[in-house]
Amino acid sequence: MATAFSATLPLHGSSQENRLLLPPTRLPPPSSFLGSTRSLPIRRLNHAHAARRSPVVAVQEIVKEKKPTNSLLITKEEGLVLYEDMILGRSFEDMCAQMYYRGKMFGFVHLYNGQEAVSTGFIKLLTKSDSVVSTYRDHVHALSKGVSARAVMSELFGKVTGCCRGQGGSMHMFSKEHNMLGGFAFIGEGIPVATGAAFTSKYKREVLKQDCDDVTVAFFGDGTCNNGQFYECLNMAALYKLPIIFVVENNLWAIGMSHLRSTSDPEIWKKGPAFGMPGVHVDGMDVLKVREVAKEAVTRARRGEGPTLVECETYRFRGHSLADPDELRDAAEKAKYAARDPITALKKYLIENKLANEGELKTIEKKIDDLVEEAVEFADASPQPGRSQLLENVFADPKGFGIGPDGRYRCEDPKFTEGTAQV
Amino acid sequence: MWGILRRSAVDGGGFSASSLRRTRFALVSARSYAAGSKEMTVRDALNSAIDEEMSADPKVFVMGEEVGQYQGAYKITKGLLEKYGPERVYDTPITEAGFTGIGVGAAYAGLKPVVEFMTFNFSMQAIDHIINSAAKSNYMSAGQINVPIVFRGPNGAAAGVGAQHSQCYAAWYASVPGLKVLAPYSAEDARGLLKAAIRDPDPVVFLENELLYGESFPISEEALDSSFCLPIGKAKIEREGKDVTITTFSKMVGFVLKAAEKLAEEGISAEVINLRSIRPLDRATINASVRKTSRLVTVEEGFPQHGVCAEICASVVEESFSYLDAPVERIAGADVPMPYAANLERLALPQVEDIVRAAKRACYRSK
């Protein structure tokens, strides 16, 4: 079942050394771990840890144990929800590219095309009170978590109706209502913040005695896995047994730096067991596989069994950002992953397994197109923030603006928010 | 006690000759009744502040290196682990970036962490989180996510700890919008400001000083009350004067007060302002004082370039230029990494003589 619709490459054992000798821009030979889910080598968990923690099993085996091979992984409703979410992510990002080239959007914009399976696979299993922390490539995480397309588009246009009133921008999507805790520009910055949110979950349960089983999902890339904060948080999350899932969106490239050129051991899932948590590798171009792994990881976290590290092998179809000429990536590599487009794959699965027909899927696509168009019109029509908004929201308690020349707190000056008060 | 209450009421506001006389009297009388009034070390003041805030609000917790079983690297968190348990007093591994980020994330989600840095020099490993994820979040999220966190620890030079343990971070943190930066001097400052910081819904950088931890100060009954809080953003006039204004913060307040005594012997009456709050800076009090005395000397322990003194000088020149009778004077630490040798360290930090000399220069009483 796990191999239902993606072409997986077999894993041969011998190519570890070869990989390092290849010129950086060429694909490693097909005998690398890339693209394979056939044998998830997570069984190399330290015995001492295995005794204490729940056993980690290859995804394939979970699937085989729990479901007979002729039953489906999802119901029709779930399938349509997943499809719609991925189509929303794709259309939205495509529209962002158009708007950027028309000058409506500016600054740094990082698009998520190709990676939708990871966002949809994980976030659609979460509740509203679970938290998501992401990086600068956060539009689709925000959308999957429930932030409306209008709010995200307006934020990108820098309008006052955006989810952060135009003050955050593309890289800083925050939504308290949907527990989208950002949107961070520095790689690795979101990981400790996510660990803190998971810490709060546990604190609420154990110290404040509240009924809280919220989990946090932290999304970050392959480049981040060489950053110190990642390791610090793997250590502390396992140490304190926090309800967090670390999701690595390994798209093989950090701007123009290939993962293989920058990492001594490129198999990121292995770093989990080193800290005492399960490390799982999954095909990130296959939303159903991602969803199966996510279910297991989220359930673990909710039961209080601690963190999981999930490495999703995925790919971004566009450059790092809209300003990236994307010259270093091989055309053959891009073509190979384009053939594994997660949306096409899910569509094929739904149709072949008679969960939906062309017509229903087309309706969804049309609905999303209209939604995105409407979001653009809304954003266009929205006003820019007023001048006085410049000074707002620096502090939650605005007495932090100090004391004005008249000896009273500046924020008490009635002209303060009009922008005419002296600063 | 009545005098002390009166004193805190006139701080930062307008002055009148009669209130000046009364507060002078109150200061003198408080000291002469030393046997009756209580004294408290800064260490105990901080400890009691954290203790009271933790017992009042279960969302407050402490995290840092050695805060639990070791009772605190400088014993500030002594007894808290025994009282509140390991779920509220966390001994962290040596991972500043990691645990600071965790604190920020916990603050995002609604808790109130008090993160201790063993010294603020170590905060440089976590400065990304203090500035990018804590200070800027309320703004980036347009008010949706506020960060009620306190970062505290010793700041500035201690005794003979060398270049990497002696830097003063007041200027760096105070330049960032979104942070509140506090620097207490006395036990009362420490208690009131730390309680205010823990209750504050914004990120606060609380700069203590290792050498002040053991010093005792008289403390009023009012300050011992568990709801005592000092306002953030208001400076305190430690000593009234009419000839020259000397502003400073943290350990230097003690030096400046001694310098003021020496100056008084020579007939120069110095007004000493304890800034207490570096960001927001109480420009109103400073300028009102300069307009009264017409001379300014600013003192700090940190590096001179782009320091807190530079900001105060600029503010005074911008707002009270026509009131100045002498150029503004700036006394800061030497523009070198802190040397180790005791005599060199003494040369690298402002001493009482330097402050006296600068004040006299401002008064045109010396070369």
Encode pLDDT of A357-397 as tens digits.
999 999 999 999 999 999 999 999 999 998 888 888 888 88
> Nearest Cβ partner of B202 from A131, A392, A395?
A395
Angle at A312 between CA A306 and CA A313, to 5 degrees: 155
Residues of chain B with Cβ-Cβ distance to A400 below 8 Å are 180, 202, 232-233, 279-280
Cross-sheet strand order for the sheet of A279-283: A174-175, A180-181, A131-133, A216-221, A244-250, A308-313, A279-283
**Annotated catalytic residue: which of B52, B96, B208, B238?**
B96
- Shared-domain flag, residues A257 and A398: no
The closest CB to that of B282, out of A197, A232, A402, belongs to A402
Chain B residues in contact with A234 (beta carbon < 8 A): none
| Residue B16 pLDDT greater than 80, yes or no | no
Q: What percentage of chain A has pLDDT greater than the value 70?
A: 80
- Return the structure tokens found at B220: 């009023």
Handedness of CA B70, B75, B79, B80 (dihedral sign): negative
Interchain pair B92, A236: CB under 8 A: yes
Instruction: Looking at the structure, tell me whether residues A242 and A336 fall in a common domain.
Output: yes
Chain-chain contact of A197 with B108 (C-beta, under 8 angstroms): yes
Tokens of A57: 């099993």
Asked whether residue A9 is domain-assigned, the answer is no
Beta-carbon count within 10 A of A364 CB: 17
pLDDT at A329 over 80: yes
Q: Is residue A257 part of a domain?
A: yes
What average pLDDT does the segment B108-119 reach? 96
A154-178 average pLDDT score:
93
- Calculate how close chain B gets to A135, using CA atoms only, in Å: 12
pLDDT at A411: 74
The 3-state secondary structure of chain A, one letter per residue: CCCCCCCCCCCCHHHHHHHHHCCCCCCCCCCCCCCCCCCCCCCCCCHHHHHHCCCCCCHHHHHHHHCCCCCCCCCHHHHHHHHHHHHHHHHHHHHHHHHHHCCCCCCCCCCCCCCHHHHHHHHCCCCCCCEEECCCCCHHHHHHHCCCHHHHHHHHHCCCCCCCCCCCCCCCCEECCCCEECCCCCCCCHHHHHHHHHHHHHHHHHCCCCCCCCCEEEEEECHHHHCHHHHHHHHHHHHHCCCEEEEEEECCEECCEEHHHHCCCCCHHHHHHHCCCCEEEEECCCHHHHHHHHHHHHHHHHHCCCCEEEEEECCCCCCCCCCCCCCCCCHHHHHHHHCCCHHHHHHHHHHHCCCCCHHHHHHHHHHHHHHHHHHHHHHHHCCCCCHHHHHCCCCCCHHHHCECCCCCEHHHCCCHHHCCCCC
In chain A, which residue's Cα lies nearest the Cα of B12? A407
- What is the band of A55 on the pLDDT scale with cuts at 50, 70, 90? very low
Share of chain A above pLDDT 90, in %: 66
ipTM of the complex: 0.75
| Neighbouring residues of A286: CB distance < 8 A, sequence distance ≥ 6 | A5, A6, A117, A340, A342, A345
**Chain A neighbors of B12, CB-CB under 8 A:** 403, 407
Query: What is the pLDDT, as a whole number, of residue A20?
Result: 39
pLDDT higher than 50, residue A303 = yes
> Which residues in A lie closer than 8 A to residue B201 (C-beta atoms)?
395-397
Check whether residue A121 and residue A241 sit in a common domain. Answer: yes
Amino acid A399: pLDDT: 74
**Would the CB atoms of A394 and B141 count as touching at under 8 Å?**
no
Contact (CB<8Å) B93/A236: yes
- For B108, the closest chain A residue by CA position comes to A197
For the segment A319-341, the average pLDDT, to the nearest whole number, is 91
Query: Given a cut of 60, is residue B26 above it in pLDDT?
Result: no
Q: Taking CB atoms and an 8 Å limit, are A394 and B110 in contact across chains?
A: no
Residue entry with tokens 């400890």: B47
A411 and A332 part of one domain:
no
Contact A229 B101 (CB under 8 A): yes
Q: Do A393 and B138 touch (CB under 8 A)?
A: yes
> Cα distance from B212 to chain A (closest Cα, Å)?
26
> What does the alpha-carbon distance between residue A229 and residue B96 come to, in Å, rounded to a whole number?
9
- With H, G, I as helix, E, B as strand and everything else as coil, classify residue B325: coil
Same domain, residue pair A353 and A374: yes
Long-range Cβ contact pairs of B70-74 (< 8 A, separation 24 or more) = B72/B116, B73/B118, B74/B43, B74/B154, B74/B210, B74/B213
With contacts defined as CB-CB under 8 Å, which chain B residues touch A172? 140-141
* Tokens 């040596």 sit on residue: B94
**Catalytic site includes residue B165:** yes
Q: Looking at the complex, report in whole angstroms how far the Cα of residue B236 sits from the nearest Cα belonging to chain A.
A: 13
pLDDT at residue A327, as a whole number = 85
Measured distance CA(A338)–CA(A285) in Å, rounded: 10
The distance in angstroms from the start CA to the end CA of chain B is 43
Share of chain B above pLDDT 90, in %: 85
The CA-atom distances, in angstroms, between A126 and each of A100, A217, A271, B69, B111 are 31, 9, 25, 38, 22
CB-nearest to B202 from A198, A397, A407 is A397
Is residue A354 very low, low, confident or very high in pLDDT (cuts 50, 70, 90)? Answer: very high
Together in a domain, A286 and A396:
no
The number of domains in chain A is 2
User: How many CB pairs lie under 8 A apart between chains A and B?
Assistant: 189
- Residue B36 tokens, joined: 């009756």
Pick the residue of A165, A173, A393, A408 with the most B CBs within 10 A to test the interface with B by mutation.
Answer: A393
A279-289 b/e with 16+ CB inside 10 Å = b? Answer: bbbbbbbbbbb
Q: Is the pLDDT of residue B107 over 70?
A: yes
Burial call A384-423: b when 16+ CB within 10 Å, e when fewer: ebeeebebbbbbbbbbbbbbbeeeebbbebeebbeeebee
Cβ neighbours of A186 in B, within 8 Å:
128, 132
Is the domain of A374 the same as that of A401?
A: no
Q: CB of B131 within 8 A of CB of B174? A: no
The whole-chain average pLDDT of chain B stands at: 89
Residue from B129, B165, B301, B311 carrying the catalytic annotation: B165
Contact A200 B110 (CB under 8 A): yes
pLDDT given for residue A338 in this prediction = 94
* Domain region containing A361: 74-381
The verdict on a CB contact (< 8 Å) between B145 and A176 is: yes
Note whether residue A60 is domain-resident.
no
pLDDT of residue A29: 42
Q: Does some domain include residue A272?
A: yes
CA distance B249 to B303: 14
pLDDT, position A54: 45
Can you give the pLDDT at residue A19? 40
pLDDT of residue B27: 44
| Domain containing residue A104: CATH number | 3.40.50.970
Residue A368 belongs to some domain of the structure: yes
Neighbours of A149 (CB within 10 A): 23
Domains in chain B and their CATH numbers?
A: 37-222 (3.40.50.970), 234-361 (3.40.50.920)
Nearest to A164 among B92, B107, B140 (CB): B140
- Taking residues A307-332, what's their average pLDDT? 92
Contact yes or no for B155/B208 (Cβ under 8 A): yes
B108 touches A193 (CB < 8 A): yes
Per-residue pLDDT, averaged over B136-164, amounts to: 93
Interface test with B, best of A174, A179, A207, A395 (most B CBs within 10 A): A395
Question: Which residues, 6 or more positions from A331, have their beta carbon under 8 angstroms from its beta carbon?
Answer: none
Facing B97 at nearest CB: one of A175, A228, A239 = A228
DSSP B79: T
Cβ atoms of residues B15 and B7 within 8 Å: no
Active site residue B96: yes
Residues A175 and A145: beta-carbon distance below 8 Å: yes
Q: Which residue has the tokens 């203090």?
A: B130
Residue A63 counted as domain residue:
no
Query: What's the sign of the alpha-carbon dihedral A81, A84, A90, A95?
Result: negative
Is there a contact between B97 and A191 if contact means CB atoms under 8 Å apart? no
Cross-chain Cβ contact A229/B106 below 8 Å = no
* Average pLDDT of the segment spanning A311-330: 91
Residue written as tokens 């010093």? Answer: B215
Give the pLDDT of residue A400.
67
Across B289-294, average pLDDT: 96
Q: Which of B106, B232, B288 faces A200 most closely, judged by CB atoms?
A: B106
Residues A304 and A412 in one domain: no
Is the per-residue pLDDT at B90 higher than 60?
A: yes
Cis amide bond preceding B327, omega within 30: no
Instruction: Find the range with the poorest average confidence among A191-195, B36-40, B77-81.
Output: B36-40
A23, pLDDT greater than 60: no
Q: Is the Cβ pair A165, B142 closer than 8 Å? A: yes
- Taking CA atoms, A372 is separated from A118, A119, A150, B299, in Å, by 21, 18, 8, 58
Closest-CA residue of A relative to B13 is A407
pLDDT one-digit tens code per residue, A253-286: 988 889 998 999 999 999 999 999 999 999 999 9
pLDDT digits (tens, 9 = 90+) for A78-113: 999 999 999 999 999 999 999 999 999 888 899 999
Do A334 and A404 lie in one domain? The reply is no
A277 with A415, same domain?
no
A288, part of any domain = yes
Comparing alpha-carbon positions, the chain A residue that sits nearest to B10 is: A407
For residues A285 and A397, membership in a common domain is answered with no
Strand partners, B245: B271, B296
Same domain, A372 and A402: no
Nearest to B144 among A174, A193, A195 (CB): A174
More confidently predicted of A407 and B272: B272
Residue B233 to residue A131, Cβ atoms within 8 A: no
Average pLDDT on B79-102 reads 94
Separation between Cα atoms, residue B278 and residue B312, nearest integer Å: 10
pLDDT band (50, 70, 90) for residue A417: low
